[in-house]
Structure 1
Amino acid sequence: MDSPRAPNPDFERAVRDAVLSMPAARRLGFQVGRLAPGEAELVQPYRAELTQHDGFVQGGVLGALADFAGGCAAGTLLPAGWANMTIDYTVKIVAPARGERIVARGRVIKAGPTISVAAADVYSSTARGREVETLCATAFVTLRNIRVPDPRRGADR
């Protein structure tokens, strides 16, 4: 299979700006890691206020991170002036998440003109002389691709 090509040569900036403009992502403290056409990595540094009573990262945070990672991966394949919005996602938590950071790696399964489907794997990461990652969740994310209205032109038709 050929590697996907990004129709927007400035896809990295577009995806970073999109994520970091979202209040939810800023509030949770997501950091954008590696971006490549059809792939995205998001990082959630460990924060006690995002955990359950036992110190594990709460499942809703894992779901949000997976959702954003899938959306970012799909966003790397959108033309300039387009964005995506989640219409459905399913997360399966397979192990408790505790570590210095939680890393979600999204990848595009199918990029379409209207609907895109992505997957994301979420890992807890701890440095013990070397980085050790443990798979803690996996997700499928379905997204609706939309053209972003140009504020200079008023409402696009």
Structure 2
Amino acid sequence: MTEPNPDFAQAVRAVVLSMPAAKHLGFTFGRIERGEVEIVQPFREELSQHNGFFQGGVLGSLADFAAGSAAGTLLPAGWVNMTVDYTVKLVAPAQGEKVLARGRVVKAGRTTTVAAADLFACTGEQETLCATALVSMRNIPLPQG
């Protein structure tokens, strides 16, 4: 790999938000820095299980997107990453106006990057940790042409 993409924030935003799954969830990026991102997911009824709680699979998806996006900030131009595996631990009910998913790189490598994400259910200014995840990403150059 070469030097990280100087336009990493724009590249990550464009790649991730063009994915059909990301469009379905309807999240936005709160911030994008080298090795760290924040995703903001507003509550919507179709993302819940019952009684106003975010569904666990939605939390897993948000963790994957946040950690993968953080990993993507360190890639050279013309590279992307794909999830190899992830483990999510749900630690509290996710109920609130939104979920903040904060992703960070744990260890970046040439072919594999390990990242993590912490998810917080938010109401007003109150944040409650509801999930944590560890995610492995495979770094690949985009095919030419």
Structure 1 runs (4+) deviating above 3 angstroms are none
TM-score (norm 1): 0.89
In structure 1, C-alpha distance between the alignment counterparts of 2:144 and 2:8, rounded to whole Å:
18
Q: Which residue among 132, 141, 148 is the counterpart of 2:142?
A: 148
In structure 2, C-alpha distance between the alignment counterparts of 1:23 and 1:98, rounded to whole Å:
25
AA paired with 1:56? F
How far does residue 150 in structure 1 lie from its aligned partner after superposition? 2.6
AA paired with 2:104? R
1:62 aligned onto 2:52: no
Please identify, of 112-121 and 27-36, the stretch whose mean Cα deviation from structure 2 is larger. Answer: 27-36
1:87 aligned onto 2:87: no
SS in 2 for 1:12: helix
Identity of aligned residues (%): 68
Gaps of 5+ in 1: 1-5, 152-157
In structure 1, C-alpha distance between the alignment counterparts of 2:122 and 2:76, rounded to whole Å:
33
AA paired with 1:89? Y
Match in the other structure for 1:35? 32
Q: Which residue among 116, 126, 135 is the counterpart of 1:119?
A: 116
In structure 1, C-alpha distance between the alignment counterparts of 2:52 and 2:38, rounded to whole Å:
23
Match in the other structure for 1:110? 107
TM-score (norm 2): 0.96
AA paired with 1:81? G
AA paired with 1:143? M
How far does residue 54 in structure 1 lie from its aligned partner after superposition? 2.1
How many residue pairs get aligned? The number is 143
Instruction: Give RMSD over aligned pairs.
Output: 0.9
